[in-house]
Amino acid sequence: MLRAQSVTRRFGDFTAVDSVSMTVAPGEVVGLLGANGAGKTTLIRMLLGLLATTEGAVEVLGGPPDRTRRARLGYVPQNLGLYRDLTVAENLAFSSAAYGVAAPELPATLRGIGDTLVGDLALGAQRQAAFVVALAHEPAVLVLDEPTSGVDALARAELWDTIRSQADHGVGVLVTTHYMEEAQHCDRLLLMSDGELVGAGSEKDIIGDTRAVAVQTDDWSPAFAALNEARIPVILSGRSIRVPDTDPAAITRVLDAAGITARIEPVSATIEERMLVLARRRRPR
């Protein structure tokens, strides 16, 4: 339903996306993961035909992203694509008319705010409205650019229920996120870093054999500071310190030199830690 073949996009001397190939199949939820600035949005804009490729080609529903094929897309951009000075109902009516379909009824969760200006709504309600607008013409492909950013855990869960429901009905879904824990909701993952595709497959496939070290201390702050000063890639998880892809002996030496007693345990890495490892390997220290 979506395909990119060796797609590259340059802005002057800056390469935002570098030779990326990917696909989305019917009924599949593909997660496009990566830190802010990894190239996710640029790739999406090329897939949608909103931005020309410098090299390579994209396909939507078997061909170039022309007007006819784009009419079968549902798109929720980062800025939601709603008119803030229109009500929820007016946004739905306008978008439906643009696609040549009758506006559906608002779902029960939005009926009480149908006459409210979008600009007056909380972010969670705005995102729900954006989903309703994007789905009004029953698209075959759904493209969502960080659709759950800035909303609470409950609202994020509800939005993912909507995404899975669409996939269960055969819709192909491409969703970007910088929330690494949302990877479990996807059928397949694509990991981008600095404009390149650096991992693909399941969460287990992407993590591979990468390991991390859990560091437990009575006071995490001095340990964190000592490891950070030694240029060791340290992550704070709650009140615990995790260090990906580093020899436990090196961690022990740094903490011993700082006079810090700690319990050190090798553990499996998370996908976020794997992403950090890949980024560090690509950039000169």
Q: Which CATH superfamily is domain 211-268 in?
A: UreE, C-terminal domain (3.30.70.790)
Q: Give, rounded to a whole angstrom, the gap between the first and last alpha carbons of the chain.
A: 40
User: pTM for the complete prediction?
Assistant: 0.82
Tell me which of 3.40.50.10310, 3.40.50.300, 3.90.15.10, 2.160.10.10 is the CATH number of domain 2-206: 3.40.50.300
Contact 199, 205 (CB under 8 A): yes
Domain spans in the chain, listed from the N-terminal domain onward: 2-206, 211-268
Q: Phi/psi of residue 277, each to 5°?
A: -60, -45
pLDDT at 142: 94
pLDDT tens for each residue of 101-151: 999 888 888 888 999 999 998 888 888 889 899 999 999 999 998 887 777
DSSP 183: G
Average pLDDT in the chain: 88
Q: Range with the lowest mean pLDDT among 148-152, 168-172, 201-205? A: 148-152
Contact in structure between 62 and 123 (CB atoms under 8 Å): no
Q: Is the per-residue pLDDT at 284 higher than 50?
A: no
Secondary structure element (H or E) that encloses residue 214, with its range: strand 211-216
> Do the beta carbons of residue 98 and residue 70 sit within 8 Å?
no
